[in-house]
């Protein structure tokens, strides 16, 4: 049973900017929130390998193939750091994976959109990784130590991905008519889903207040979304890309860009499993997991045998 | 008078392309695992191996372009040649199969590459030698990775034993080609830039046999029917489909800059 004194002490540590470490006392609800958020983040990295992985085989130059492979490999690495960070709270990676493959755990809906052209992976690098950095830079300051440190590492790699994506977007945008068409089409399809990555508006985000109180999150979804839009509008202009929102207007009073209505119906639809690629993504991940079961079993059996023979020898 | 005398320059070009084609095609195959591995650590490892292989092919192609001296670049060889112009081993183009097949194939290829590169690391040509020495470090890691998995799968569970045994049985008829040689090799060896693969054939076979034995596996018959012809452009039908995927975008927009 958590006492008020424990909760007050915990809040005082948070307010003083201290990091919470695995063996420290923490409210059960805090533990649950970190597990929920962190594992959702980890699952997203793993599912996120699929849309970009779709273009590794078709990348248009050896250099671009290497860049893309390295990027997708980084996402697997991020998944690994995050699972390890969350495992410090006493849950196993195997259980977390079961919860998203067969249970109700979620991953970011952005990965339920298909990558229809090579320009899509460039735009994902620019917009999706760009949005992820805005989120993760803040999460790198979050109160739970292991999660915060995992995000610091992730951010370094994500900024590199974003630069590569933006560089390629700029190249396509100043390329042949076919390349320009390809990249504008990709931006048109990914713009709104990217804005949705920050989550529902603050008024519709049930977990936000609690997460902010505990400094798991430091900003509201809307604040982060605005920050991303302000930055991206200028980047788009610099490379002659049109963002598909006729209502984008600079607001002199607020100093921010005003934007049009986000299609939240689509967001909730995709969250509930009804996007173009939702079923495909889950199917691909389940198949990988199930087809790999015999490999994992063999590795365990072999390790047991080796341990036994070492024990018998000593 | 023969119109196709093989000059040292042409032999070098062909030699580099054979090495590069093996690595590009196998790298393309291994990269298919990305996002679909049996465990997260293997997603990382296999992506890493694919990265190395494709990176090696790119360096070898770039040098081939330099030797050829016709204004081509690395991408030219990867993207603008047809099936029959590729000289990779059929071993490298076979579908990735299950994890056991991928491992069995990679163990055979990386162990062979290890012995081959151990000889090539002393090549006379400085630029070639530099490349080989750099790549050899990575090949050692690939060999350790695949050998460890041969042992784990062979001596793991009944199912894994059966799967990896089947994989070796299936892939066995493609191994003889690793030791194929012709006048390209002769010229390269004579010029101090080639590896005499037959000089290590017995050592390689012993290494493979020892590993399979340690993994409690049965060594398939070395004297069974073995396919041949890859180095002169003979392939399975799988290669055409790999190239369809690999080359489609680049060939659809040949005038565009994708670098």
The per-residue pLDDT for A274 is 87
The per-residue pLDDT for B1 is 41
**pLDDT at B79 > cutoff 60:** yes
From chain B, the residues in CB contact with A171 under 8 A are: 257
- Is B50 in Cβ contact with A288 (below 8 Å)? no
From chain A, the residues in CB contact with B258 under 8 A are: 60-61, 64
The per-residue pLDDT for B2 is 44
Give DSSP secondary structure letters for B54-100: HHHHHHHHHHHHHHHTSS--HHHHHHS--GGG----HHHHS---SHH
Residues 127-166 of chain A whose Cβ lies under 8 A from any Cβ of chain B: none
**pLDDT at B144 > cutoff 50:** yes
Give the residue on B whose Cα is nearest the Cα of A93.
B40
The per-residue pLDDT for B3 is 47
Give the model's confidence band at A16: pLDDT under 50 very low, under 70 low, under 90 confident, else very high.
very high
Give the residue on A whose Cα is nearest the Cα of B60.
A62
The per-residue pLDDT for B4 is 58
Quote the minimal CA–CA distance from A312 to chain B in Å. Answer: 18
Q: What is the pTM of this model?
A: 0.95
- Whether A298 has its CB under 8 Å from any CB of chain B: the answer is yes
Q: Is B1 helix (H, G, I), strand (E, B) or coil?
A: coil
The per-residue pLDDT for A2 is 87
Quote the minimal CA–CA distance from B180 to chain A in Å. Answer: 28
Written as six digits, the tokens of A78 are 């991020």
Quote the minimal CA–CA distance from B1 to chain A in Å. Answer: 40
Q: Measured between alpha carbons, how far apart are the two ends of chain B, in Å?
A: 43
Task: Compute CA A143 distance to the chain's CA centroid, rounded to the nearest angstrom.
Answer: 19
| C-beta atoms surrounding A304 within 10 Å | 11
From chain B, the residues in CB contact with A61 under 8 A are: 75, 79, 250, 258-259
A–B interface: beta-carbon pairs under 8 A = 140
Residue A257 has φ and ψ, to the nearest 5°, of: -90, 125
Q: Considering only the beta carbons, identify the residue of B44, B58, B153 that sits closest to A77.
A: B44
| C-beta atoms surrounding A8 within 10 Å | 10
Give the residue on A whose Cα is nearest the Cα of B74.
A62
Q: Which residue has the tokens 């196998």?
A: B26
Written as six digits, the tokens of A114 are 């298909």
- Whether A64 has its CB under 8 Å from any CB of chain B: the answer is yes
From chain B, the residues in CB contact with A178 under 8 A are: 253, 256
- Whether B97 has its CB under 8 Å from any CB of chain A: the answer is no
Average pLDDT, chain B: 96
**pLDDT at B203 > cutoff 60:** yes
The answer to whether A150 and A81 have CB atoms below 8 angstroms apart is: yes
Give the residue on B whose Cα is nearest the Cα of A168.
B258
- Whether A288 has its CB under 8 Å from any CB of chain B: the answer is yes
- Is B255 in Cβ contact with A292 (below 8 Å)? no
Residues 25-44 of chain B whose Cβ lies under 8 A from any Cβ of chain A: 28, 31-32, 34-44
- Whether B155 has its CB under 8 Å from any CB of chain A: the answer is yes
Q: What does the pLDDT look like over A111-136, one tens digit per residue? A: 999 999 999 999 999 999 999 999 99
Q: What does the pLDDT look like over B80-134, one tens digit per residue? A: 999 999 999 999 999 999 999 999 999 999 999 999 999 999 999 999 999 999 9
Give the residue on A whose Cα is nearest the Cα of B215.
A302
Dihedral sign, Cα of residue B227, residue B230, residue B231, residue B234: positive
- Is A72 in Cβ contact with B47 (below 8 Å)? yes
Residues 94-123 of chain A whose Cβ lies under 8 A from any Cβ of chain B: 118
d(CA A160, CA A165): 9
- Is B39 in Cβ contact with A178 (below 8 Å)? no
Quote the minimal CA–CA distance from B215 to chain A in Å. Answer: 10
The per-residue pLDDT for A273 is 84
- Is B40 in Cβ contact with A83 (below 8 Å)? yes
Quote the minimal CA–CA distance from B37 to chain A in Å. Answer: 6
ipTM given for this complex = 0.96
From chain B, the residues in CB contact with A76 under 8 A are: 35, 40, 43-44, 47
A12: Cβ–Cβ under 8 A, 6 or more apart, which residues? none
- Among B40, B167, B243, most A C-beta atoms within 10 A, so best to mutate, is B40
From chain B, the residues in CB contact with A49 under 8 A are: 34-35, 43
At the fourth CATH level, the homologous superfamily of domain B8-252 is Ferritin, core subunit, four-helix bundle (1.20.1260.10)
The enclosing H or E element of A256 equals strand A256-258
For chain A, percent of residues with pLDDT exceeding 70: 100
- Is B44 in Cβ contact with A62 (below 8 Å)? no
From chain A, the residues in CB contact with B217 under 8 A are: none
Q: What does the pLDDT look like over A132-152, one tens digit per residue? A: 999 999 899 999 999 999 999
B201: Cβ–Cβ under 8 A, 6 or more apart, which residues? B179
**pLDDT at A36 > cutoff 50:** yes
Q: What does the pLDDT look like over A181-218, one tens digit per residue? A: 999 999 999 999 999 999 988 777 777 788 888 998 88
- Whether B223 has its CB under 8 Å from any CB of chain A: the answer is no
- Whether B119 has its CB under 8 Å from any CB of chain A: the answer is no
| C-beta atoms surrounding A174 within 10 Å | 13
| Beta bridge partners of residue A20, listed in sequence order | A144
Average pLDDT, chain A: 94
- Whether A272 has its CB under 8 Å from any CB of chain B: the answer is no
Q: Which of A3-12, A266-275, B71-80, B206-215 has the weakest average pLDDT?
A: A266-275
Question: Which candidate, A226, A217, A172, places its Cα nearest to that of A195?
Answer: A226
């Amino acid at each position: 049973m958590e006492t008020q004194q424990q909760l007050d002490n915990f809040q005082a540590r948070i307010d003083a900017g201290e990091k919470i470490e695995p063996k420290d006392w923490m409210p059960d609800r805090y533990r649950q929130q970190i597990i929920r958020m962190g594992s959702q983040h980890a699952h997203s990295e793993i599912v996120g390998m699929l849309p970009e992985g779709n273009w590794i085989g078709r990348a248009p130059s050896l250099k671009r193939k290497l860049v893309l492979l390295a990027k997708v490999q980084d996402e697997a690495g991020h998944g690994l750091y995050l699972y390890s960070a969350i495992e410090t709270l006493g849950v196993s990676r195997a259980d977390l994976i079961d919860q998203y493959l067969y249970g109700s755990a979620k991953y970011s809906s952005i990965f339920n959109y298909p990558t229809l052209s090579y320009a899509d992976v460039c735009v994902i690098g620019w917009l999706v990784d760009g949005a992820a950095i805005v989120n993760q830079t803040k999460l790198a300051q979050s109160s739970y130590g292991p999660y915060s440190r995992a995000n610091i590492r992730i951010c370094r790699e994500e900024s590199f991905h974003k630069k590569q994506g933006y560089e390629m977007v700029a190249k396509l945008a100043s390329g042949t008519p076919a390349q320009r068409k390809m990249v504008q089409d990709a931006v048109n399809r990914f713009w709104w889903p990217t804005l949705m990555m920050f989550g529902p508006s603050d008024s519709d985000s049930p977990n936000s207040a609690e997460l902010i109180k505990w400094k798991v999150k430091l900003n509201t979804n809307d604040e982060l979304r605005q920050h991303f839009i302000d930055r991206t509008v200028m980047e788009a202009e610099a490379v002659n890309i049109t963002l598909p929102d006729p209502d984008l207007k600079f607001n002199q009073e607020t100093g921010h860009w005003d934007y049009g209505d986000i299609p939240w119906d689509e967001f909730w639809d995709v969250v509930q499993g009804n996007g173009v690629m939702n079923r495909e993504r889950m199917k691909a991940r389940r198949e990988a997991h199930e087809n790999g079961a015999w490999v994992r079993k063999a590795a365990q059996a072999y390790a047991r045998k080796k341990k036994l023979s070492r024990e018998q020898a000593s | 008078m023969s119109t196709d005398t093989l000059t040292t320059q042409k032999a070098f070009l062909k030699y580099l392309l054979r090495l590069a084609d093996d690595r590009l095609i196998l790298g393309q195959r291994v990269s298919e695992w990305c996002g679909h591995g049996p465990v997260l650590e293997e997603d990382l490892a296999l992506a890493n191996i694919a990265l190395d292989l494709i990176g090696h092919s790119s360096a070898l192609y770039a040098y081939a372009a330099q030797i050829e001296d016709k204004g081509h670049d690395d991408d030219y060889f990867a993207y603008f040649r047809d099936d029959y112009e590729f000289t990779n081993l059929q071993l490298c183009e076979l579908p990735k199969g299950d994890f056991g097949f991928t491992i069995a194939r990679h163990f055979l290829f990386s162990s062979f590459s290890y012995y081959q590169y151990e000889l090539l690391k002393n090549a006379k040509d400085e630029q070639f030698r530099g490349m080989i020495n750099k790549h050899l470090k990575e090949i050692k890691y690939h060999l350790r990775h695949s050998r460890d998995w041969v042992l784990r799968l062979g001596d793991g569970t009944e199912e894994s034993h059966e799967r990896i045994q089947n994989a070796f049985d299936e892939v066995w008829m493609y191994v003889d080609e690793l030791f194929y040689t012709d006048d390209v090799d002769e010229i390269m060896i004579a010029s101090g830039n080639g590896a005499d693969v037959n000089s290590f054939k017995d050592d390689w076979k012993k290494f493979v046999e020892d590993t399979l034995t340690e993994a409690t596996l049965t060594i398939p018959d070395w004297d069974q029917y073995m396919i041949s012809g890859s180095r002169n452009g003979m392939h399975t039908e799988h290669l055409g489909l790999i190239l369809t995927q690999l080359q489609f975008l680049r060939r659809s927009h040949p005038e565009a800059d994708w670098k």
